[in-house]
Amino acid sequence: MKEKNNAFLLLASVVAALGGLLFGFDTAVISGTTPFIQPYFHLNDVGLGWTVSSLLIGCIVGVTFAGRPGDIFGRRNTLRVAALIFLASAVGSALAAKLWVFITFRFFGGIAVGTASMLSPMYISEISPGARRGALVSLNQLAIVIGILIAFFSNYLLVGVGADNWRWMLSVMGLPALLFFFSLLFVPESPRWLVQKGRTKEAFDVLSRINGEERAHTELRDIEESVAKEEGTYREVFSKELRPLLFIGMLLAIFQQMTGINSIMYYAPIIFKTIGNGTSSALMQTIAVGAVNLTFTLVSLRLIDRWGRKPLLLVGAIGMIVSLFGIAIAFFTHHFAGYLILVLILLFIASFAVSIGPVAWVVIAEIFPNKLRSKAMSVAIVTLWTFTFLVSLTFPIILDRLGGGAAFTMFGVMCVLLLIYVIFKLPETKGKSLEELERVLLKKS
Separation CA 285–CA 268 (nearest Å): 8
- Residue by residue, DSSP assigns 217-247 as HHHHHHHHHHHTSPPP-HHHHTSTTTHHHHH
Q: Rounded distance, CA 316 to CA 303, Å? A: 13
For 2-187+229-444, the fitting CATH number among 1.10.10.10, 1.20.1250.20, 1.20.120.10, 2.102.10.10 is 1.20.1250.20
> Considering the chain, what is the average pLDDT of its residues?
83
Burial of 206 (0-12, 13-18, 19+ CB in 10 A): buried
Q: Give residue 60's pLDDT band: very low, low, confident or very high (50, 70, 90).
A: confident
Which of 382, 381, 397, 385 lies closest to 50, judged by CA? 397
Q: Give the type of residue at 67.
A: G
Q: What is the spatial distance between Cα 220 and Cα 217, in angstroms, rounded to a whole number?
A: 5
Neighbours of 235 (CB within 10 A): 8
Handedness of CA 222, 224, 225, 229 (dihedral sign): positive
In residues, how long is the chain? 445
3-class SS string, 287-338: HHHHHHHHHHHHHHHHHCCCCCHHHHHHHHHHHHHHHHHHHHHHHHHCCCCC
Query: Backbone phi, then psi, for 229, in 5-degree steps?
Result: -65, 150
Which one, of 177, 226, 193, lies nearest residue 119 by Cα? 193
> Residue 266, class by beta-carbon neighbours within 10 Å (0-12 exposed, 13-18 middle, 19+ buried)?
buried
Q: How many CA atoms lie within 13 A of 417 on its CB side?
A: 13
**Is the CA virtual torsion 253, 311, 121, 345 positive or negative?**
positive
What's the pLDDT tens digit per position in 210-263?
A: 877 878 888 888 788 776 665 677 888 888 888 888 999 999 999 998 988 877
Domain coordinates in residue numbering, the chain: 2-187+229-444
Contact 445, 243 (CB under 8 A): yes
- Express as a percent the part of the chain with pLDDT over 90: 22
Query: Which has more confidence, 434 or 39?
Result: 39
N-to-C CA span, the chain:
40
Confidence bin at 421 (pLDDT 50/70/90): very high
Q: pTM of the full predicted structure?
A: 0.75
The mean pLDDT of 276-281, rounded to a whole number, is 51
pLDDT of residue 390: 84
What share of the chain has pLDDT > 70, as a percent? 89
- CA dist 443 and 250 (Å) reads 20
